[in-house]
Structure 1
Amino acid sequence: MDLGIRGRNAIVCASSKGLGRGCALALAEAGCNLVVNGRDPDALKATAEEIRTRYGVVVTEVAADVSTPEGQEALLAACPQPDILVNNNGGPPRRDFRELTRQAILDGVTQNMVTPLELIQATIDGMASRGFGRIVNITSLSVYMPIQGLDLSSGARAGLTAFLAGVARGVASRNVTINNILPGKMDTERLRSGIRYGAEKAGVSYEEEARRQTAEIPAGRFGTAEEFGRACAFLCSAHAGYITGQNLLLDGGLYTSAF
């Protein structure tokens, strides 16, 4: 399926690894030129080189922390007029909420709420003036369903979701959409750290905890970054202009709800 975005320019935050990398690969497959980002220059370089080799698109690397003003300036300098923005960032580490300091809470909210809002502020009017824009925020299943130890991440991402619900409606008539993808148990390092955390708490092996968590998922497996990326690419496509302000769950049916 031709997604109708060949030649479009996309910024994909935190895209050297994991779900962000999956999104970058899928957008490159659709023909987008990319700005990829990460804090590990070696991992970022490897991802950028793979994308160039496989898809022949223009790929610009920005090694920076997207939560810093300097990191955001570098991203926007590399792509001043993005057609597509995929907001992604690492979340706070698992921690009992009683252990959170004021600064830890502020840092978590900055990572997972303030940072994407700042990038949207910087890019949304340009998208509207050009008559095309796709913004996708990678949030989490924890917005809907609590996950032990991720209260700070859940709260910040839920705040982002609520904040943007009205913003999305305000630009829909200009062919600019804002949507969120909520990953469940995806096969990433974040998940693996959660399995280790759960195994330690339960006093069982990593393998036993992984089997237990897999058994909870109706699909019977963990998700992949590749299928996550393709869902993101569709929301960024020319065909998704009538989808906005939505939360797309990619969780293999883990969250139980009829609506």
Structure 2
Amino acid sequence: MDLGIAGRRAIVCASSRGLGKACARALAEAGCDVVINGRDAQKLEAAAAELASIAGVKVTPVAADLATPEGQQALLAACPDPDILINNNGGPPPRDFRELTRQQMIDGVVANMVVAIELIQKVIGPMTERKFGRIVNITSGSVKMPLAGLDLSSGARAGLTAFLAGVARTVADKNVTINNILPGAFDTDRLKGILGNAAKQKGISVDDAAAARAATIPAKRFGDPDEFGAACAFLCSARAGYITGQNLLIDGGVFNGAF
């Protein structure tokens, strides 16, 4: 399918690896010029070279911490008027909620809610004027099915979801859409780290921890990041203009509900 976005400009946050990188790859393959972002300049340069060689489009790396005004300025200096914005950020590590300090809670809300809103504030005006914009926020399956220990991440991402639900309806008539993708367990470095910690706590091998986790998923496997990227690219496409304010859960069937 031709997604109808060749030549569009995309910003993909936190995209030197994992799901963000998969989204950047899918958009580049669809013909978009892509600005990728991360805090590790070396990993970012390597990802940019890889993506450029695969897709033959312009890929611009911006090493920046988007929780800071300076980081956001650097990102938008590289792409002042994006047609597509993918908001993504790693969540805080698992922690008993009783151990959270006020500063940790503030940092978590900033990282997983405030940064996305600030970036949308900066790009949505030009999108509405051009009558084209696609905004996708990568949140988490825990927004629909909260997990103990991930309370801060779940709460901040759920706050972002509710905040943007109303905003999405105010720009839909301008061909600007805002949607969320909620990942379950995908084969990423983050999941490998979680499985490593679980293996250590239980005194088992990482392979056994992975097998036990996969067994809880109806699909009996972890998601492939490229599957996630393809779904993101479709939501960003010219074919998806009638989809807005939605939450696409991609979890292999873990959430046991009809709605």
TM-score, normalised via structure 1 length: 0.98
Shift of 1:148: 3.1
Tell me which residue corresponds to 2:206: 206
Tell me which residue corresponds to 2:170: 170
Pairing of 1:110-125 with structure 2 (within 5 A): 110-125=110-125
Question: Does the residue aligned with 1:135 lie in a helix, a strand or coil?
Answer: strand
Q: Take 1:62 and 1:208, find their aligned partners in 2: how far apart are those partners?
A: 38
Pairing of 1:126-205 with structure 2 (within 5 A): 126-205=126-205
Tell me which residue corresponds to 1:95: 95
TM-score, normalised via structure 2 length: 0.98
Shift of 1:199: 2.6
Question: Does the residue aligned with 1:61 lie in a helix, a strand or coil?
Answer: strand
Q: Which moved more, 1:88-97 or 1:19-28?
A: 88-97
Shift of 1:207: 1.9
Matched to 1:23, the amino acid is C
Tell me which residue corresponds to 1:233: 233
Aligned length: 259
Matched to 1:130, the amino acid is R
Q: Take 1:15 and 1:4, find their aligned partners in 2: how far apart are those partners?
A: 22
Task: Report the identity percentage.
Answer: 68
Q: Take 2:103 and 2:144, find their aligned partners in 1: how far apart are those partners?
A: 25
Tell me which residue corresponds to 2:76: 76
Shift of 1:204: 2.9
Deviations 1:149-179 (A, max 9, x none): 2110000000000000000000000000000
Question: Does the residue aligned with 2:171 lie in a helix, a strand or coil?
Answer: helix
Q: Take 2:201 and 2:247, find their aligned partners in 1: how far apart are those partners?
A: 31
Tell me which residue corresponds to 1:4: 4
**Unpaired runs of 5+ in structure 1?**
none
Q: Take 2:53 and 2:203, find their aligned partners in 1: how far apart are those partners?
A: 45
Question: Does the residue aligned with 1:90 lie in a helix, a strand or coil?
Answer: coil
Shift of 1:195: 1.5
Q: Take 1:212 and 1:59, find their aligned partners in 2: how far apart are those partners?
A: 38
Root mean square deviation, CA, Å? 0.9
Q: Take 1:112 and 1:38, find their aligned partners in 2: how far apart are those partners?
A: 15
Shift of 1:232: 0.2
Q: Take 1:159 and 1:195, find their aligned partners in 2: how far apart are those partners?
A: 27
Deviations 1:130-156 (A, max 9, x none): 000000000000101122321100000
Question: Does the residue aligned with 2:182 lie in a helix, a strand or coil?
Answer: strand
Q: Which moved more, 1:103-112 or 1:49-58?
A: 49-58
Q: Take 1:69 and 1:197, find their aligned partners in 2: how far apart are those partners?
A: 34
Question: Does the residue aligned with 2:164 lie in a helix, a strand or coil?
Answer: helix
Query: Within the alignment, does 1:219 sit opposite 2:235 as a pair?
Result: no
Flag the 1:148–1:189 CA change in 2: closer, same or farther, 3 A.
farther
Q: Take 1:229 and 1:108, find their aligned partners in 2: how far apart are those partners?
A: 25
**Unpaired runs of 5+ in structure 2?**
none
Q: Take 1:206 and 1:225, find their aligned partners in 2: how far apart are those partners?
A: 20
Shift of 1:253: 0.5
Tell me which residue corresponds to 1:36: 36
